[in-house]
């Protein structure tokens, strides 16, 4: 798998990052998302240093990710319960 260097800009700073060709789009989207989140924080807290903005953005992004992960787990549980009910109903119909 070929690897290449790409440059992403986050909070007006360029970063040259090595990644596989298959991950270029994801890396660009991730960098753009982080840039947006850091810009939002900078607008609400303009005196906050860049390193603290980066940490706060990372914590917010991870918090959102973990919430979505919990929701997904809940949907999977509900889906399994629905499947059990459907199987039970199908069993009753075949009697």
Of residues 48, 7, 12, the one with CA closest to residue 28: 7
Lookup: tokens for 5: 């260097």
Mean pLDDT for all residues in the chain: 94
Q: Is pLDDT of 91 > 80?
A: no
pLDDT in the model for residue 95? 64
| Cα dihedral across residues 5, 8, 14, 15: positive or negative | negative
Confidence at residue 41, expressed as pLDDT on a 0 to 100 scale:
97
3-state SS assignment for residue 95: coil
User: If pLDDT is split at 50, 70 and 90, which confidence band does 20 have?
Assistant: very high
Angstrom distance (rounded) from CA 44 to CA 56? 12
Is residue 29's pLDDT more than 70? yes
3-state secondary structure of 2: coil
Query: pLDDT digits over 36-73, tens only?
Result: 999 999 999 999 999 999 999 999 999 999 999 999 99
């Amino acid at each position: 798998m070929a690897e290449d260097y790409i440059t992403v800009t986050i909070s007006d700073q360029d970063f040259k990052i090595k990644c596989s060709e298959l991950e270029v789009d994801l890396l660009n989207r991730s960098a753009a998302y982080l840039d947006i989140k850091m810009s939002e924080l900078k607008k609400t807290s303009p005196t906050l240093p860049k390193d603290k903005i980066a940490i706060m953005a990372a914590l917010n992004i991870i918090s959102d990710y973990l919430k979505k992960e919990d929701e997904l787990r809940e949907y999977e549980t509900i889906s399994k319960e629905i499947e059990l009910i459907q199987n039970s109903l199908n069993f009753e119909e075949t009697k």
